Amino acid sequence: MSPSLQAPNWPSYLDPVRLDALLCQWLEEDLGTGDVTTEATVPPEQQAQGLFLAKTEGVLAGLQVAQRVFHLVDPELQVIWHQEEGSWVSAGTIFGHVIGRARSLLIAERLVLNLLQRMSGIATATRRLVERVRPYGTQVLDTRKTAPGLRLLDKWAVRIGGGTNHRLGLYDMMLIKDNHIAAAGSIRAAIEAAQRYREQHQPALLIEIEARSLEDVEAILTVGGVEWVLLDNLARQLPDGSLDVTLLREAVHLIGGRFRTEASGNITLATAEAIAATGVDAISCGALTHSVQALDLSLKLKLL
């Protein structure tokens, strides 16, 4: 990657050594005992150039990951990107090229495209949602609804698209949901138990609690001691297809800035603006990662 195009925002939560181990595992899954088609049809000394083509418009994400795949397959491959990580590209854009042994390019091709297409699809969906709520200053948060094994790349793609990483996992933030509240016995019991745990084990942990009704919000306000309130499904789809945000707006008004607010449920491009207009600090959307539509990208080879 050209130094001038190297993205400065490699996430702190993604250890390059751990990433390389994952990439090697995924390469092995695909390669097995060898690429029999390539070995049979492509001379070992044949050189080639691969051109990366965007076949639809969207946000590019995963360029640095793709480069690591190529270098794990063959350190002599030369990868040059014509666009930066996070760039919006139009259909027909050639956004990079790779030069080297044709066999190496063919071995790396599928994993490179799988990761680029998925990460770019997530980044594109995130960018569209971010732009939709930008006038309201609303953050777009990701969730834990990610593909197993791909969480850190999925979350990096959200970040490249302009979203905000919320929780990486079960270990870096407390999120007291309805089942935790049921198991603890009440909202008060759940919050007080979380506060005790935080004091004894991890004083820097943030606590968020789910509210599914105005009564829940009032109970949380009575107890206090949290940093976030998750307002779940308080924006409700009506039978005629319209969205009723009355309860959500009232909940935000009740909280009055005492805690940060996150709205979840029924978050789509069509509904996001109305939800953001209620004054919530953030919206979270699991569909960004669990229902991603891959961006259509290709790698076209020509012999040298």
- What CA–CA distance (Å, rounded) separates 297 from 194? 46
Q: How many domains does the chain have?
A: 2
Active site residue 177: yes
Q: What is the pLDDT of residue 9?
A: 73
> Is 249 a known active-site residue?
no
- Helix ranges, 100-186 (H): 102-133, 151-160, 178-184
The answer to whether residue 132 is domain-embedded is no
Residue 1 has pLDDT above 60, yes or no: no
Under 8 Å between Cβ of 288 and 125: yes
210 is a catalytic site residue: yes
Which tens digit of pLDDT belongs to each residue from 70-105? 999 999 999 999 999 999 999 999 999 999 999 999
Which pTM was predicted? 0.94
Domain-located, residue 166: no
Q: Is residue 31 part of a domain?
A: yes
Please write the tens of the pLDDT for every residue from 120-140: 999 999 999 999 999 999 999
Q: Specify the length of the chain in residues.
A: 304
CATH number of the domain bearing residue 193: 3.20.20.70
Q: What is the pLDDT of residues 258-295, one digit of tens each?
A: 999 999 998 999 999 999 999 999 999 999 999 999 99
Q: What was the pLDDT predicted at 266?
A: 83
Catalytic residue chosen out of the listed positions 144, 145, 151, 260? 145
- Write down the catalytic residue from 154, 216, 232, 262: 232
> In the numeric block, which tokens belong to residue 27?
């390469």
Is 110 among the residues known to form the active site?
Answer: yes
208 is a domain residue:
yes
% of the chain residues with pLDDT over 90? 94
111 within a domain of the structure (yes/no)? yes
Active-site entry in 110, 144, 198, 260:
110
- What range does the domain containing 14 cover? 3-124+293-303
Which residue in the list 177, 212, 236, 260 is annotated as catalytic? Answer: 177
Q: Write the CATH number for 72.
A: 3.90.1170.20
Whether 101 and 202 map to the same domain: the answer is: no
Average pLDDT for 29-55: 97
Active-site pick, 35, 154, 208, 210: 210
Q: Are strands 47-54 and 297-303 parallel, antiparallel or unpaired?
A: antiparallel
Q: What is the overall mean pLDDT for the chain? A: 95
User: What's the confidence (pLDDT) of residue 280?
Assistant: 98
The whole-number average pLDDT for the span 207-227 is 97
Whether 129 is in a domain gets the answer no
- 38 and 89 belong to one structural domain: yes
Whether 149 is in a domain gets the answer: no
Confidence of residue 2 (pLDDT cuts 50, 70, 90): very low
Sorting pLDDT into bands at 50, 70 and 90, what band is 41? very high
- Same domain membership, residue 45 and residue 84: yes
What is the token pair recorded at 135? 């006038």
In a domain, 205, yes or no: yes
300 is catalytic: no
7 and 117 assigned to the same domain: yes
Say if residue 110 is in the same domain as residue 187: no
